[in-house]
Amino acid sequence: MPEGVMKAWLESSHLNGGNIVYIEELYESYLDNSASVSAEWREIFSELPKVEGSDVEYRHSAIRDEFKTLAKQQKKQVVTSGGDAKQVKVLQLINAFRVRGHQNANLDPLGLWQRDKVRDLQLSHHDLSENDFDNEYNVGSLDIGQDSMKLGELYKALRKTYCGSVGAEYMHITSTDEKRWLQNRLESVQSVPTLSVDEKTEILKGLIAADGLEKYLGAKFPGAKRFSLEGGDALVPMLKELISRAGSGRR
């Protein structure tokens, strides 16, 4: 073990979990009367970090007592109306498409790959049905340009966005800002971006260049072991666009 790590461990070994009850009792005694503990413990407690924006010293015993009091109180029954329950189900449906929509995306232009249905993407899984299609619900954080939609229109938009020819898997990202950025780019256009003729021409040039490079390497190094671009040709113009945007500061 490195000397620095060993030193830090030895200096804090008295604060390990096995001594927690004893240390808490000492700390609460210190809060009541700092002179009731030794000078060594006074120094340790005085160096503890303070809660930002608060001068209150928190006691675990008071917090435990509060939870004991709450536990003894009679449980309150929460009654939810049917409309509110449906609203919750709609928001769960939206989240399901964001999380698992890519598993039903149409990624085979030849239609040879028949993908199994994902249970979470079915209306019945969320206690919804086509009978609810004419009912209007709040869409939550769905970045589609309106606060509420009829369920039928919403379901169609979700399938077009997440189960079309673009598969998007991003909900594992821990940054909320990054997820919102991706959702805005996907949901605002339902995964069908509007590209100008010049932009389409530039993408085509990138694809032709990638294909040309592949053919050149195949002719230059016949029989040599190499990694092919086959199936990943679109990656080349995509990376080119990413680099161009990063250099220009565009988002």
For residue 109, the model assigns a pLDDT of 81
The values of phi and psi at residue 37, to 5°, are: -115, 165
Q: What's the rounded Cα separation, in Å, for the pair 89 and 139?
A: 11
* pLDDT in the model for residue 187: 95
Tell me the pLDDT tens digit for each residue of 51-77.
Answer: 555 555 666 677 777 777 777 766 554
Distance of CA 83 to the CA centre of its chain: 28
pLDDT tens across 139-167, in order?
A: 999 999 999 999 999 999 999 999 998 88
- The CATH code of the domain at 82-187 is 1.10.287.1150
Residue spans of the domains in the chain: they are 3-72, 82-187, 197-248
Q: Taken in order 96, 102, 103, 107, is the CA torsion positive or negative?
A: positive
Q: What is the pLDDT of residue 81?
A: 45
pTM of the model: 0.59
Tell me which of 126 and 229 has the higher pLDDT.
126
Residue 28: predicted pLDDT: 81
Determine the distance from the C-alpha atom of residue 79 to the mean position of all C-alpha atoms in its chain, rounded to a whole number. Answer: 31
Q: Which of 9-13, 40-44, 110-114, 177-181 has the lowest mean pLDDT?
A: 9-13
Q: What is the mean pLDDT of residues 226-248?
A: 81
